[in-house]
Amino acid sequence: MALSSMTGFARGQGVTGSYVWSWELKSVNAKGLDVRLRLPPGWDAVEVAVRKAATDALARGTVYGNLSVERKGTAPTVKINEPVLAAIIATLDQIDNRVVGAGRPTLDGILALKGVIEVTEDDEKPEERRAAEQAIITGFNATLADLLKMRRAEGDTLGQLLASRLDEIASLAARAEAAPGRKPEAIKARLAEQVATLMEASQRFDSDRLYQEALLLASKADIREELDRLASHGTQVRKLLADGGPVGRRLDFLAQELNRESNTLTAKANDVELTNIGLELKTVVEQFREQVQNLE
């Protein structure tokens, strides 16, 4: 499967009978999947189908879907919903004396209430309406396919960038592996120097304490475990990139693990070269983690 980013944009439009419609889809990063649809009044019948299509096709991201529909060649008819208006006026009369200092509602305020005014179109045939609804659903699916295509194209680019970052991490780990400060003789010399300092600072020679301090210093100087874990995490990342699909969450977890190992390696660094390598490693891992945030 291909990698996909969570960002993308697509637009589709069409004409069905007297209806002119258009879809606009936009997706951005998110922890989960959130489909937000904006439909014109009276077109709620298409929501279930298009929402299902989106949730079936996508795993992560906030997706904004905006539908516009216009009917050409017909004049709209505006009418008052008398039962709703009568109920509103009756309710206003009931609460008029309860609210002190409140002015009487204005006509435009009452007409602005939902359901008071109904806008209908003349000569709208049920079969024409159903055909338009089906065409709009089909159009959504086509627009969604374009969105997926864009997300996959960006996912492919992200995959190449992440592979490049992994190569940098591996190169830095190799440099740390070969650093002169890691050689036994260098560690031994530093231990001898620090042991001498310890003995000078102590008035009484304590062989047990000296042994414990030497073990502690040797342990701190050993970055073998961190290098092995960096290599292991890198192998897992490469496998996920090769497998593709919605792997963003798992890659984010591995990015955190890479960050933890790079921090520990830097903290253990016992000379300038290893410290510089550790700092470079932390920078590259952070870049890797930022780019992973865009993957589905």
pLDDT digits (tens, 9 = 90+) for 38-77: 999 889 999 999 999 999 999 999 999 999 999 887 666 7
Q: Where does the pLDDT of residue 285 fall: very low under 50, low under 70, confident under 90, or very high at 90 and above? A: very high
Q: Where does the pLDDT of residue 90 fall: very low under 50, low under 70, confident under 90, or very high at 90 and above? A: confident
Dist CA 183 CA 193 (whole Å):
16
Give the other-Cβ count within 10 Å of 145's Cβ: 13
Class of domain 8-74+122-152: alpha beta
> Tell me, what DSSP letter sits at residue 221?
H
Q: Which of 82, 71, 69, 74 is nearest to 41 (CA)?
A: 69
Dist CA 157 CA 267 (whole Å):
33
- pLDDT value at position 171? 96
Which of 17-26, 82-91, 122-131 has the highest mean predicted lDDT (pLDDT)?
17-26
- pLDDT value at position 203? 60
Using a cut of 0.75, tell me whether the model's pTM lies above it: no
- Give me the residue spans of the domains in the chain: 8-74+122-152, 76-120, 181-221
Residue 3, pLDDT above cutoff 80: yes
Q: How many alpha carbons fall within 13 Å on the CB side of residue 75?
A: 2
Local structure of 26: helix, strand or coil? strand
Q: Where does the pLDDT of residue 109 fall: very low under 50, low under 70, confident under 90, or very high at 90 and above? A: confident
- pLDDT value at position 226? 92
Residue 209, pLDDT above cutoff 70: no
Residue 199, pLDDT above cutoff 80: no
- The answer to which of 48-57, 179-188, 239-248 has the lowest mean pLDDT is 179-188
How many H helices and E strands in the chain? Answer: 9, 6
Dist CA 14 CA 21 (whole Å):
6
- pLDDT value at position 213? 61
